[in-house]
Structure 1
């Protein structure tokens, strides 16, 4: 079972990063107001990047790494890598 790290773009243009087992279900939860507190007031969100990992640890590690990046690097990541929907 793969684990995913993902980024969504909020309605205000900000980026939110998280990890999940099911990207589509998680994005739907964000848009229904049941996602992270950060995204509740910034709906709707749309998926801009995701990547599958073999372990939860790997997905959480990438989430942490992305959250440490400056915005310009996050934007470059969104542009350079296609969304992976496995």
Structure 2
């Protein structure tokens, strides 16, 4: 199952998605998709560096489905985060 990495920007709380090479984007469709466990592990390691530098918090992998080649959230929670931002 494909996955992407999501987090929140530390300073603003904005929902962001990992696009590789320390690049976090606000549009889920621009996120880098891991197609297997090895790719996901590499994305997680790279994203963790931004946690350590206090750029992002609450980093985790989320399941997605590919629609026309772009990632779309599978869970209701992630659809809400993608559309509206963090729920409080």
TM-score past 0.5 threshold: no
Task: State the TM-score, normalized to the length of structure 2.
Answer: 0.41
Task: State the TM-score, normalized to the length of structure 1.
Answer: 0.41
Greater share of strand: 2
Greater share of helix: 1
